[in-house]
Chain A
Amino acid sequence: MRVSHWSAACAAVVAALTIGAGACTDPTVAPKSTVTGANFFADPSAYQQVLAKIYAGLAVGGQSGGDGSTDISGIDGGFSQYMRLYWEMEELPTDEAVIAWGDQTLPEMNTQGWSASNTFVNAMYYRVYFQVQMVNEFLRQTTDAALASRGVSAPLKAKIHTYRAEARFMRALSYWHGLDFFGGIPLATENDALGANPPAQVTRTQLYNYVVGELTAIRDSLPVSGVAPDPATYGRATKGAADMLLAELYLNAGVYTGVPDYADALTSAQNVISSGLYSLNPVYRNNFTADNNNSPEIIFAVAEDGQHTQTYGSTNFIIHASCGNSMNPGNYGVDGCWYGLRMKPSAFRLYNAGDSRGSTMDTLAADGQTIAIPSISSFGNGIPNPKFTNKTSAGATGSNPAFADTDFPMFRLAEAYLIYVEAHLRSGGGTDANALNYFNALRVRAYGDSSAVDTSIAEITLDTVLAERGRELMWEAHRRTDLVRYGLFAGPLSGNYVWAWKGANAYGTDSTGMATDAHLNLYPIPANELIANPKVKQNTGY
């Protein structure tokens, strides 16, 4: 009996526990090898690592080499690498470049034929906001209150103060790209909570004012470059970079706000020039080599590295894609040709004999490539432009033929000169002598002598500045913005300058080109964004 009761009691306990199961009812598991928001900032180097992400957002498409673990969704990581998209949107629809490939919606880019569901245009929009949101999150995580709550030391706090200014520069840079490509778009700042209601769309002028205001506010908090090349600040936001970005904004203020501001453009360019930190690289081509980080001319670059910063976008894309047919990839320091990019005839014809900036293509013209482009998809049509290379200035191959070491020079001194000249011609102030000097400095470098210099400012017109910008900044992702500023990209005056494939059907065969509608001066806002954020209105004409 005694045993039976014991047994019954135990059975009852079993039953009770089976139903109640005491302590084992909590399924919570804390992630161990995952870095969570809760534990990440316990490591003081975390702040630098998030700042690195903000910069890396321009250099690689995702968290692993070769653009794996992509930052944005809906498109391949290499395809959607920031600089690759930026380059394609600035170059392909202009008089400068075509791409052969038939990847979905890519052919539309050659002919201004995009729609609101163009994969590449959409991806650029998302890249802009990815950058913006990385910065906003960094700023939220580094407020004085947040730093105090984590007991951050005073020296680190001082560093973070500079990081915050750099981050805000990077946000201003991407917002510039956003307002240049898309016009008035939603303005999200660090004051908007994550995952909350989508922010409201602002006008292009409001966004312009915000970006200019930001840059003005942080200009003096940014690091100052040493005499270039300065490894400590190379590839990072500096005061010089902020001045260049301001110069770009002011130069296009008429497009962005309707009110031109050439005086400020000239002042900002002058600030860069007279800082004395930068000088023209005696060899033009050394701005585009595997060791271009040594160029004293570069003010801000997106730093790539064949070993540590591997992407299928940026310069690696330009170098590989510019190679094909009879070209030997080894001559450009890469492992193979992608058979993609060539110049439109209008671009090739910008160069005159003796201009070293065009000499890289001359031999190719003789080697079976045609100047005319009857078929965009045929690499043999159009002259390739191996301006960017994964060879060093000394002729050695970069550290990895699969991934270029070549940095993308976003701002360099030569452009500051050209901005000065153009702003001066557009009544922005300055002196004739300076303008003439700056303009001729580029010509002298290009020709190796003074055979092509202009002797008086009267010889320099706005049209010659545009042509010179084409020659000097060929394939450096400025062209669309320039053509829009000149009114020649699309719209009423666009019939004044027609180039091959301009406005043609992406799948058509008519390469003569035509004037295009004004709405194409802005890219469309992604169709998906209109759904996700009902406050956003589509740009007119789409």
Chain B
Amino acid sequence: MRSLRWLIACALTAAAAAAPLAAQGATGTIRGRVTDAATQQPIPGATVTFGTRGGISQTDGRYTIYGAPAGTDSLRVRVIGYAPISQSVTVAGGDTVNVDVAMTAKAVNLASVVVIGYGQQRAGDVTTSVTQVAAKDFNPGVIVTPQSLIENKVAGVEVIDNNQPGGGISIRVRGQASYTAGSEPLYVVDGVPLGTGSGGGISTGNDPLNYLNPNDIESITILKDAASASIYGTNASNGVVLITTKSGQGKSRVEYGGSFSASSVTRLPSMLSPTQFRAAVAKYDSTALPQLGNANTNWLDLIGQTGMGQQHNVSFSGSGAANDYRFSLGYTNQDGVVRGTTTQQIQLRLNYGQRFYDNKLSIRGNIAGSRSMDQFTPNGVLFNAAQMGPTQPIFDTSSATLLAPWGAQLPPTGYYNWPGNSLTSRDNPLEILNGSIDHATTYRSVGSLTGKYDFSELTGLSGLTGTVDVGYDVTYGDRVTFFPNNIHFVTKNGTWGSYGESQPQQANTVLDMYLNFQPPAHLGPGTVDFTGGYSYGQSHGRFANFGESQIETNVLTDAGIPQSNAQPVSTVDVEDAKLISFFGRAGYNIDDRYLFSASLRRDGSSRFGPGNQWGNFPSVSAGWRISQEPFMQGISAISDLKLRASWGKTGNQAFGNYLFVPTYQACNATAEYNLGGQFVCPFRPSAVDQNIHWEATSAWDIGADYAIFGQRFSGTLDWYRKNTTDLLFDVPIDPASNLSNHVVTNIGSMRNTGFEFDLGGRIKDAATPGGLSWTANLNVSHNSNQVVSINPNATGTGTQVLTGGIAGGVGSTVEVLEPGQPIYSFLVCRQFYSAGKPVQGVYYNATGTDTVTGCTRGSNTIAEHDPAPHWIFGLTSNLSWNRFDLSFTLRSWLGNYVYNNVASNVGDYRELSDGSSPSNLSTSVLKSGFTQQQLLSDFYVENASFLRMDNITVGYTFPWEAQRVRLYAVVQNAFTITGYSGVDPTAGVNGIDNNIYPRSRTFTSGLSVVF
């Protein structure tokens, strides 16, 4: 570490010392700015040459050529997507000549800058599979979680919704590629890697990425193939999401955007009506009839609400000759459609850039801070609301006081509950909802300071820049759950009230240093560029939990624990991790026609033991812009066509720390043993594989970027194959040779194959300003996943991993990992039907040739269907006419299946008599007529393909006091067409619908104005 500090000091001294440099000899300096002739916007990354000297234009379009030989020569400016320019310039020794250049666009989309790992690239030069979505294309409406901005916008990216406002959102880039380790992409915000997983940070329930105000985001780039992602090495197997925040541009301005919204629930679990319930009880559980009341209570309605919300964003931004700034403040408050759910966000961000010493040194600081306050619907409310008897009243004023185990007489809550104290009866959901508390507060700050120095003035180093980037990511969270001591939910299970608090905190720091070298001169027939660097990241986390039960009084609710009558349970866990990396990339470009790139990352990680710490992650890619070839010049319809191919290797270490370390695990206070009258906490030695190492993915991508009719329509086409090996699995071992019957080891492999198609275009250009214009984008992706091997040493059931736990029986699972099948395939029995009705207990045998009684694992269960969509379609359309604009986004998933666990768990008449008081049943029982639970019937595995209108927006823009004001209205989740019978076909990551949070339709209206 000492040498690192020294190094930073050195770099800064160099920058300061180099400032007063003077030109020498018979040379001069040429400087100026490269802009787009039509838009006057700066063009960064243009190569400017003068004889043997040259430079590269910066973000603001400025370039400087030092040591230009005195005399007259051609100044050539070249950048993809624009017509090259050559003009004669005369330089006198010791002079500085100012030459501004305006370039004419040929193909703007080729010239747009795409953010890549540790740098940026012109879209036209990219030889890997990278998709960037700019702010103007983001999804509109109430967006709490930034990942929602790009839902449906990128082929090959599956965004898995969370209906709870602000809830954690999952992203799968090109399918699932792990089981034990994480499957979420790596997020990098303004160069600071936040780690893998949802926002990398620690969660107190909602999405950690919520610290980021969606309104502050300039662009989101997804590195999809291994070749583009491998520069991030061991964290890149699931793809990389690069987020760039907005910075100030142009004249000073103030922007305000505000909106109000209202959400209503779209679909709830379908349960029996009071009349149907009474009839079912009369027929199947007549002994319970006397318990039934005469009420007509719709419990699901009672826990629902209209979710109101508001959002406000203010920003101040601008730029001067050598600086730019942007300051923003955002506020969001959004209620869920179930009572008790609210999310509230306050986000501040400051982005400041300053250039020193004739633009040679630029410093940029970026600091964001946020506070999220989330309230959650207490555990148990949703399923009890579905299953509580609809004939029962809400209140019951006659109930007696309750005798607590510690002898206290507790007052009744006044809510009705079934008689008796059976664990299997349902509880009054309103009693739980109104007395219980579950909330979390999260503070997070992420910031970075970047210094970049341009060494171009030094002989031989023209085109060299050095970057030092220091970043931090600090989170402090606090989640509190409280259940009063007198609600039935807790008196019957013996907890008699509980208070639990978890306080996770984590601080990550990262230091990146890298050099970019893009010499303006040719090397052989082409130009080269190099990037090389070093990265040091460390993470320190502290996770404190404490819990109490048998609460003496409810008076303090979540504000303290006056007295607990049971053993408290507390733990503190400290986690440290380190990642050290060396990385490099080289590119070679011949006439923008033949493009080559190669990269290598070497990572050292603390997650692995001696001998396994270091790994190499290489990649190569090549592109051929056929449209540049002479033989293509006659084909005017094709304005751009590039073929590209890439291969790369990435790693996945998104699992816990210290997996390789033999440890002794402590007990907690409720798992002690009485040794001679004294309770002793048992410690257990753990079974570990000390040779554990990362999961590795190597992937091929073959693609094409195309544009036709003068760039009017353009898009991409990709085919890929990802092979993931060394997957971590918990495999059965001989229990007589280790400390357990299982150990986690690198043993499995998996494959994802797919293709993606993207087509966007200007269908109708406005003939005159304000005329009708129409743009649209369609993306299609197909992925097929296959588990190749789980345990090559095993045969029979040893090659299966049972997963997908469900409600309806402890340890019951309905999914499997089985070689040859997609991950999370459903493992169920094929139901036998007679006259269109499922016949209880009768299933097909394994070969489907005959029927048998009962569904037995290992005998007639078969793996088929899986929760992942095989096809994803996204269609976006934008129309504008005069002051009006109209846009919509449609989405469709095909081939995804969902297991309806609400129906399978409470979809049989035995549920009425099982336990003491009857619970309400899913209306699927009316269809099936089951009198016994049939958890493993494929009757409950439903095709959940759907078409959903994700949003429709209407906007009206008008001038007011010389400002532009836009009024708009958005409907999110306007409608869904699906054959799925449950609450939501996007039921969660692994396709098990068990009382998930219901989906809502949201109406938003708002305005935005720029001063």
Contacts and interface: CB of A to CB of B under 8 A. Distances in A.
A binds B: yes
Interface of A: 1, 3-4, 6-8, 10-11, 13-15, 17-19, 21-29, 31-37, 40, 46, 48-53, 55-56, 59-60, 62-66, 68-69, 71-76, 78-79, 101-105, 115, 117, 119, 125-126, 129-130, 132-134, 137, 185-188, 192, 194-199, 231-236, 303, 305, 307-310, 328-330, 335-339, 377, 397, 399-403, 506-508, 527-529, 531-533
A308 B576 CA distance: 31
18 contacts: A14-B11, A28-B613, A48-B680, A50-B685, A52-B675, A52-B680, A52-B683, A55-B682, A63-B671, A74-B741, A104-B812, A105-B857, A125-B735, A129-B741, A134-B685, A305-B679, A336-B422, A337-B915
B14 A33 contact: no
Contacts of B555: none
A337 B661 CA distance: 42
Nearest to B613: A27
Given A29-B657, A532-B798, A533-B734, 15 more contacts: A18-B534, A19-B532, A21-B580, A23-B2, A29-B606, A52-B683, A53-B667, A63-B667, A71-B740, A74-B741, A117-B796, A309-B673, A402-B494, A528-B798, A529-B732
Contacts of B494: 335, 400-403
Contacts of A185: 736
Contact of A73 (B667, B677, B742, B798): B742
Nearest to A336: B423
B795 A531 contact: yes
B797 interface: yes
Given A64-B668, A336-B424, A401 B405 contact: yes
B682 A49 contact: yes
Contacts of B697: none
B567 A69 contact: no
Given A11-B455, A49-B683, A74-B741, A18 B736 contact: no
B607 to A, nearest CB: 9
A63 B668 contact: yes
Contacts of B933: 102
A134 B739 contact: yes
Given A60-B671, A527-B797, A10 B14 contact: yes
B675 A235 contact: yes
B536 interface: yes
Contacts of A403: 494, 670
Contacts of A102: 809, 932-933
B458 A507 contact: no
Contact of B737 (A29, A119, A196, A330): A196
B740 A72 contact: yes
A309 B667 CA distance: 10
Nearest to B578: A27
Nearest to B4: A24
A55 B673 contact: yes
B279 interface: no
Contact of A15 (B515, B567, B582, B677): B515
Contacts of B657: 29, 31
Which one of A3, A53, A305 has the highest number of Cβ atoms from chain B below 10 Å of its Cβ? A53
Contact of B685 (A17, A27, A137, A337): A137
Given A11-B455, A194-B738, A69 B676 contact: no
Interface of B: 1-4, 7, 10-11, 13-14, 17-18, 20-21, 24, 405, 420-424, 455, 458, 461, 464, 466, 492-495, 513-515, 532-534, 536, 566-567, 569, 572-580, 582, 604-606, 610, 613, 657-658, 661-677, 679-685, 730, 732-742, 793-798, 802, 809-812, 841, 853-854, 857-858, 914-916, 932-933
Given A10-B11, A49-B681, A335-B423, A33 B668 contact: no
A63 B513 contact: no
Contacts of A130: 735, 739-741
B797 A528 contact: yes
Nearest to B19: A3
A302 B811 CA distance: 25
A402 B858 contact: no
A33 B575 CA distance: 7
A40 B665 CA distance: 10
B94 to A, nearest CB: 16
Nearest to B686: A37
Contacts of B461: 8, 11
Nearest to A41: B664
Contacts of B610: 28
Contact of A103 (B14, B668, B672, B809): B809
Given A194-B739, A401-B494, A13 B567 contact: no
B669 A65 contact: yes
A132 B737 CA distance: 10
A255 to B, nearest CB: 23
A260 B534 CA distance: 74
Contacts of B853: 507-508
Looking at chain A's contact residues, is the secondary structure mostly helix, strand, loop, or mixed? loop
Contact of A308 (B466, B567, B733): B567
Nearest to B457: A4
Nearest to A380: B913
Contacts of A22: 3-4
B3 A23 contact: yes
List of 8 A-B pairs having minimum Cβ-Cβ separation, nearest first? A65-B670, A402-B494, A336-B423, A129-B735, A53-B682, A73-B742, A22-B3, A29-B606
Contacts of A186: 734, 736
B198 to A, nearest CB: 24
A195 B738 contact: yes
B648 to A, nearest CB: 22
Contacts of B841: 507
A147 to B, nearest CB: 17
Contact of A11 (B458, B533, B740, B916): B458
B21 A4 contact: yes
Contacts of A33: 572-575
Nearest to A67: B671
B919 to A, nearest CB: 14
A129 B421 contact: no
A133 to B, nearest CB: 5
A528 B515 CA distance: 54
Contacts of B492: 335-336
Given A4-B18, A71-B684, A303-B673, A27 B605 contact: yes
Contacts of B7: 13-14, 17
Nearest to B809: A103
Contact of B578 (A29, A337, A531): A29
B732 A36 contact: no
Contacts of B802: 74
A72 B810 contact: no
Contact of A23 (B1, B658, B672): B1
Contacts of A3: 17-18, 20-21
A397 B404 CA distance: 11
Nearest to B604: A27
Contact of A305 (B513, B674, B742, B796): B674
Nearest to A7: B18
Nearest to B608: A27
B3 A63 contact: no
A119 B736 CA distance: 18
B379 to A, nearest CB: 16
A32 B574 CA distance: 6
Contacts of B604: 25-27
A307 B3 CA distance: 54
Contacts of A23: 1-3
Contacts of B916: 337
A55 B673 CA distance: 7
A31 B658 contact: yes
A18 B513 contact: yes
B737 A6 contact: no
A295 B423 CA distance: 31
